[in-house]
Structure 1
Amino acid sequence: MSYLVGYGPRNDDRSAIELAFQLARSRPEPVIALSVVPRGWGTPAAAGTDREYELWAAEEGRQSAELARADFAEHPGLEAEAAWVVGRSVPATLMEEAAARDAWIIVVGSAEDAEPGRVRLTSKTDRLVHSSTLPVAIAPRSYRTTSGVERVTVGFRDDDAGWSLLDRVAELSRTEGARLRVVTFLVTPARRPVTNSVSHSETQVIDLWSVQAAAAQTEAREHLAALGLDDVEFALATGPDWPTAVSSVAWEDGDIMVVGSSSTHRLAQVFLGSSASKIVRNSPVPVVVVPGAGG
């Protein structure tokens, strides 16, 4: 097994490699930094231009691999290799290479315009997350750490896919040797500017959500205890908006967040639901998106 890192040519942010090595410190497997460079047109009419383009792309790939090897020097003692391949689609090529190289997870960085410490998908990584059959780990912009995975936080919802995700994350926490935290995120309606309060009916709905979430977490606690996991943290993260809700629980160096894909979409195994997407955008720690589970 291995960690496959999508490493862009001319990459100016080594956050994805940082995250891959963090995972490797907890679960030792080779880290493979792979750059995908564009393929030429391959038509007789463009033969001369195509040849120049291929030479340029090959040089881009070689330089990118050299940059990745320089990044490896920050993490001595861990197995790693850098390579480059030609492909027309970066997401499709990464998935093909992940299968060929026996990767169990694909690791990518955030967009260049993301704020430091925040996760933001590029158009390529968005397509990857929505089509990969493997988990995809996304590092916040400018992410740096020297720790392993100390704690895994799962975004938990009380539906079939959410329970499936919980079991998978419980196993992940075991293999990574990390503590497990189960968090249910509840976003409550904002107070109205005129009355500065919510209506009685809205209050009842919010109270019902909280009761249902607490009951589901109690059931989850009992379920995990039956699996031999007794030392598990539980939390309800509430707020009037997603940034507030996500930041309402404490985050530490060594944390990663795990979310799943939507349980309601007919292609649930590959599509993020709206809740999971908002958690990803507001997470201050690396996020692992697991296909075929509830987010």
Structure 2
Amino acid sequence: MSELRIVVGYTANEAGADALALANRIATAAEGALEVVMVLPSEAHNSRVPVDSGYIRYLREQSREWLTEASTHLGADVASKLHIRYAESYAEGLIDAAHEFDSQLIVVGAAGGGLPRRPRVGSVANELLHSSDVPVALAPAGSREIPASQGVTRITACVGTRPGADVQLEAATLLARVTHAPLRLVSLVPIDLPAGLDEHLAELTSATHAESVLAEAHRALPEGVEASVETATGSTIEDAVQALDWHRGELVLVGSSRLAAPRRLFLGSTAAKMLRELPVPMIVVPRTTHGTASK
């Protein structure tokens, strides 16, 4: 992988501060670069549309001030650039920016009002999680309280039996390598299995799958990346997430739903349920990606 380049969707509020802090922490661990982006409505850049020129001028100047203020919270060792972009929607602007800068990750904050450490998906994140061809990280409320020096303490990849797990595993492995973090593979088989399946058969299937996942991962792992495997247990996704242990500086990777179009995200029901319970940031990886998994 070339240098990890991250697009941060910045807004001058707590969610924007959370996104900036998470992106800064990942970039610090990976010695990567940040592209801090504020997206303004496209009419602010279109002289043919009759708008209040005074307001547009104020909006641009205020956005520059916000970006400058945001840059003071970034580590001196992290390469960063500040950008204003124009688009029909905030999500569209961030995806276009990720393409422009050849970024491997887009980071956005949770919507306002979420519980600390629990992501609450707002309209921007929701649009990204259903349309991006670049992996998207959602920073939970309170992410700004974790210092960049914490680094990335572990990468957890939640692996089921459905198609697309290989892309997700590759993305997790690459991210673990560049952030110098251990890799944990969590098998979701017990919860992925059909309802009514014999309990002992479910346990056997889960154990067999966990072993095969670890064996496959070890074959694919580059030198220097350690890996462990666990089986999620619980009658529901929510129970399983709560039963697992989580590090303060951890990141979780999940794959897109099988309903996702190639090179696009689609947040499936399993990932959506996990998101409501996770105390750490989640990264959703497209079935095939523009960035991380294709490097």
- TM-score band by shorter chain is 0.7 to 0.9
CA distance in 2, matches of 1:69, 1:204: 53
Cα deviation for residue 237 of structure 1 reads 1.7
2:43 alignment partner, SS class: coil
After superposition, the Cα gap between the structure-2 partners of 1:77 and 1:115, relative to the gap in structure 1 and judged at 3 Å, is same
The residue that corresponds to 1:131 in the other structure is: 131
Which of residues 50, 53, 59 in structure 1 aligns to 2:52?
50
Cα-Cα RMSD = 2.6
CA distance in 1, matches of 2:55, 2:120: 30
The residue that corresponds to 1:192 in the other structure is: none
The residue that corresponds to 1:140 in the other structure is: 140
The residue that corresponds to 1:246 in the other structure is: 241
Amino acid at match of 1:109: G
After superposition, the Cα gap between the structure-2 partners of 1:58 and 1:288, relative to the gap in structure 1 and judged at 3 Å, is same
Say whether the 8 Å CA contact 1:40–1:53 is kept in structure 2. Answer: no
Range with greater deviation from structure 2 (106-115 or 32-41): 32-41
After superposition, the Cα gap between the structure-2 partners of 1:286 and 1:203, relative to the gap in structure 1 and judged at 3 Å, is same
Q: Any residues of structure 2 matched to 1:31-42 within 5 Å, and which?
A: 31-40=34-43
Say whether the 8 Å CA contact 1:36–1:61 is kept in structure 2. Answer: no
The residue that corresponds to 2:113 in the other structure is: 113
The residue that corresponds to 1:28 in the other structure is: 31
Aligned residues: 277
Cα deviation for residue 170 of structure 1 reads 2.0
> Percent sequence identity over matched residues?
27
CA distance in 2, matches of 1:291, 1:28: 24
Amino acid at match of 1:247: Q
Cα deviation for residue 103 of structure 1 reads 1.4
TM-score (norm 1): 0.84
Gapped regions of structure 1 (runs ≥ 5): 190-200
Cα deviation for residue 263 of structure 1 reads 2.1
Gapped regions of structure 2 (runs ≥ 5): 289-295
1:71 alignment partner, SS class: coil
1:157-205 Cα shifts (integer Å, max 9, x gaps): 123312332233223222222111011234499xxxxxxxxxxx97754
Amino acid at match of 2:216: H
CA distance in 1, matches of 2:165, 2:103: 24
Cα deviation for residue 292 of structure 1 reads 0.7
Cα deviation for residue 51 of structure 1 reads 1.3
The residue that corresponds to 1:157 in the other structure is: 160
1:3-26 Cα shifts (integer Å, max 9, x gaps): 110001x32341111111111122
TM-score (norm 2): 0.84
1:116-142 Cα shifts (integer Å, max 9, x gaps): 111122111111121111111111111
Range with greater deviation from structure 2 (170-179 or 27-36): 170-179
Structure 1 outlier segments of 4+, above 6 Å: none
Whichever of the two has the greater Rg, that structure is: 1
Cα deviation for residue 279 of structure 1 reads 1.5
